[in-house]
Structure 1
């Protein structure tokens, strides 16, 4: 990249991916989308909600890049939102335009414009209604450079409404890599010698397919985010994909990249990110942090200094990071605080487990009992293997006492389990799950 190009990229007003860096077909699509947005009256500083049909979600990418060139901030609607979630998001974002890639469009009085923003990401909604955040271009460019160039081409198999997949796509374009986008993971799409962005459930599916059908295309790098990768899964990657590097990262919609790990190395904070732990809760001071969040059309600034999303964590003496899970998902069982994510990490590595959600369910004497809802893959998981993993990886008070199995967990558009939906279904008895084996 020339010095002039780098100077342009570092200009806060320049598009997040300058036009000369785009492949010809995408550049033409961005130009056409820009013409349509201009005809609709989209102006700098305005907020635009972009809608796409479920069958063609990545048709939104040219519109996002075109809106960015006009100086507008985009919110990519999630086709998986409930009506209540969509209404809440639109009420907080108060968009000036709602534009569908299928030809629909509507204009509204969105109130005050908010210049300088390029993206309005939403929190995943895994534990409640999504929150609308405000991000500028510079915060993601920093992340692009921290993650560095990957081997191309790059496969991004998930919806762009999830920042995990959108970041992967824009990162590839930023580094001039070939980009392949899909709505879901199909192992036949894997770029031999390239890279792929996944969440742990997709990585499990990829490894299961590799076990059943050895050989075939294999990526040089698997980038995995969205949840912790258990040691057992890292071991499976090393065994089934021996020539593949596993690049795991921990981040959030609010802070972008926080820490990374390669293969079996420790999870460490990335450059210029400063971490502190107060009363067991992680606080993050990062140049990648969002500006704030929108409430009823008003931008509420995040303020200077460290912020937190409520993750519980520990810092080691040598600077390593151990993430224990969101405080909001902590289960109080018999006087012991149990991090749901910690239990999930241990159980995800068991053969036959596609994914797992751990929740608390009422108990007469313990208050709450640790309950594991296991998504089966290739038949029913072995309960003895699950219990053995729990004994090996968890103290007695943290081990599940109630085991349920389901064919499919409810999921968000990103592919992550919908934790709030599981909790609600457990409370009202509507979860499509059955007991796994006999009682404890």
Structure 2
């Protein structure tokens, strides 16, 4: 194994204050120059040089030519081959009658077909609807029905879950199945009949994208996020939302260089091991878009396996990986780590779950890589704050400062009063990355999106330098390895069991996952149910990551406050080791 380099923080760091770095990077004529435009009636700072739309963006990616874009097992897809597949699929969708504003759902694991489908849909001015590939058939059916998708592009595994449910989605007209293992009938056809397999894409005709005018404020995608009512809400994001991350990512890197005392250099292609699912904004917006902008290579894994990851990092000379803290912990703590050459790793970045300051230090000291972290949510189309390298090492409990086009404020419980620096309150955020609202939910949209600001539901504080510190979540949610689990969704399933009369879901600490869901249950008099029985009850109705890892039974109903709300803080002691 090659030895890992030792990285030290210069005792004179930082070489430049944040305010000076921001001024230099955003000055007139600079790459990160800003402008101001009205977005839904609100004057908003934007990146002046951000790509105007997804079709213009993917069209420009052809300049990378034979540079590898995606590696998946024995499939190696270049940027040119990817573009040809996007154009071919877009033309096929036009033939199916897909046009501006139509919803096209996408349900598959990370495959080369995923970005092809996403860019083909959005090239038409249609709206991509990435569905959580971990969802059960019933949850996937909900996404299809709620979005009103006319077409579904799906892989074989998701097709098997949904095949008997297509009739329940009244708007659905066509299904394209990638890598089908069985004969198809009804409204389902093989995706390969339209574009071939990834091995074929380089030989597809050199055709242009359809001539459709798409502007920055056009709707681009609906990303589902769990809601406090138990039913997922679709965050409707625009082309500008998704394209903002292209420059936000570059800005953060350039800011880090200036703070280090170095002149920023144009980004060069890197190799990324992408292990988080593309149906999340973290991977789609904060990883896929910057990767394409830099001509980088993304490697998709069939399933996360630490040894397999070591092999890929060594063989492909991977520079960047991460996604959630769990991945970093497993890379660090696997007993066979020393057998592999991991010296190509430059950065391990993550978000979406709490991380321990110890993890930041160990990434730096043991892997010779610079740690990175950021904060965002589905409603912010991923990155709103970001820091990496020395910045993160010096403030390992922070989520970083906002990117230049974003603003943060801390608001009191009255929803009006802005609180002073260092005070804990609800985090509000604004910028060109904030979603347009929730799909077909005007009341929820009005409550969450206020005059260009999004009410995040997170309790936070901001220090005198503008660094964000997430303190707690106001929303009743557990984050397990980056996956959001809204308590009420699981509680509603438990309440549906005939033996359960009272229950609550809480998060219990987990060293690598951040948190895991656990439940406290009170059974009706004379009723019986075991932990395994209730776990199986939930597993049959919700995605596996939402199943409580432990259930405690109590003889009395759960403790409540004067407003009748369960006092969950009193329940955590039931799970103390």
Q: TM-score of the superposition, structure 2-length normalised?
A: 0.54
Rounded Cα–Cα distance in structure 2 between residues aligned with 1:71 and 1:61: 16
Say whether residues 1:172 and 2:297 are aligned partners: no
User: Aligned ranges for residues 102-113 of structure 1 at < 5 Å?
Assistant: 109=171
Contact 1:44 1:71 in 2 (8 A): yes
Say whether residues 1:11 and 2:68 are aligned partners: no
Match in the other structure for 1:289:
434
* CA shift for structure 1 position 204: 1.0
Say whether residues 1:357 and 2:516 are aligned partners: yes
Indicate how the Cα distance of structure 1 residues 13 and 59 shifts in structure 2: closer, same or farther if over 3 A, else same. Answer: closer
Equivalent pairs counted in the alignment come to 359
Q: Indicate the larger mover: 19-28 or 68-77.
A: 19-28
* CA shift for structure 1 position 303: 4.8
Contact 2:282 2:383 in 1 (8 A): no
Say whether residues 1:48 and 2:104 are aligned partners: yes
Secondary structure of the corresponding residue to residue 80 of structure 1: coil
Rounded Cα–Cα distance in structure 2 between residues aligned with 1:30 and 1:73: 15
User: Aligned ranges for residues 10-409 of structure 1 at < 5 Å?
Assistant: 10-12=51-53, 14-19=55-60, 20-21=62-63, 23-52=79-108, 54=109, 57-100=111-154, 109=171, 116-123=218-225, 128-148=230-250, 149=267, 152-167=270-285, 168-185=287-304, 186-190=309-313, 191-192=316-317, 194-209=319-334, 212-213=337-338, 215-218=340-343, 219-242=345-368, 244-255=369-380, 256-262=382-388, 263-266=392-395, 267-279=400-412, 280-295=425-440, 302-329=449-476, 344=509, 348=511, 355-357=514-516, 361=520
* CA shift for structure 1 position 193: 5.6
Rg larger in structure: 2
* CA shift for structure 1 position 158: 2.9
Rounded Cα–Cα distance in structure 1 between residues aligned with 2:296 and 2:57: 15
* CA shift for structure 1 position 321: 1.3
Secondary structure of the corresponding residue to residue 310 of structure 1: strand
Rounded Cα–Cα distance in structure 1 between residues aligned with 2:291 and 2:330: 23
Contact 2:521 2:551 in 1 (8 A): no
Unaligned runs of at least 5 residues, structure 1: 332-339, 364-405, 430-435
* CA shift for structure 1 position 81: 0.8
Rounded Cα–Cα distance in structure 2 between residues aligned with 1:140 and 1:362: 42
Indicate how the Cα distance of structure 1 residues 355 and 315 shifts in structure 2: closer, same or farther if over 3 A, else same. Answer: closer
Cα shift readout 1:19-77 (whole Å, capped 9, x = no counterpart): 5356122122212222321221111221111233x5x6442221111111111110122
* CA shift for structure 1 position 241: 0.9
Contact 1:134 1:292 in 2 (8 A): yes
Indicate how the Cα distance of structure 1 residues 276 and 358 shifts in structure 2: closer, same or farther if over 3 A, else same. Answer: farther
Q: Indicate the larger mover: 258-267 or 135-144.
A: 258-267
Match in the other structure for 1:335:
none
Rounded Cα–Cα distance in structure 1 between residues aligned with 2:58 and 2:443: 27
Cα shift readout 1:180-238 (whole Å, capped 9, x = no counterpart): 22244422222536222421111111112377425513411122111132101111111
* CA shift for structure 1 position 87: 3.1
Indicate how the Cα distance of structure 1 residues 86 and 25 shifts in structure 2: closer, same or farther if over 3 A, else same. Answer: same
Rounded Cα–Cα distance in structure 1 between residues aligned with 2:87 and 2:244: 26
Cα shift readout 1:257-285 (whole Å, capped 9, x = no counterpart): 12112231332122121111123211112
Indicate how the Cα distance of structure 1 residues 306 and 296 shifts in structure 2: closer, same or farther if over 3 A, else same. Answer: closer
Contact 1:173 1:179 in 2 (8 A): no
Rounded Cα–Cα distance in structure 2 between residues aligned with 1:86 and 1:326: 27
Rounded Cα–Cα distance in structure 1 between residues aligned with 2:271 and 2:439: 36
Aligned CA RMSD, in angstroms, stands at 4.1
Rounded Cα–Cα distance in structure 2 between residues aligned with 1:240 and 1:195: 15
Rounded Cα–Cα distance in structure 1 between residues aligned with 2:330 and 2:319: 18
Rounded Cα–Cα distance in structure 1 between residues aligned with 2:311 and 2:288: 19
Indicate how the Cα distance of structure 1 residues 360 and 269 shifts in structure 2: closer, same or farther if over 3 A, else same. Answer: farther
Secondary structure of the corresponding residue to residue 319 of structure 1: coil
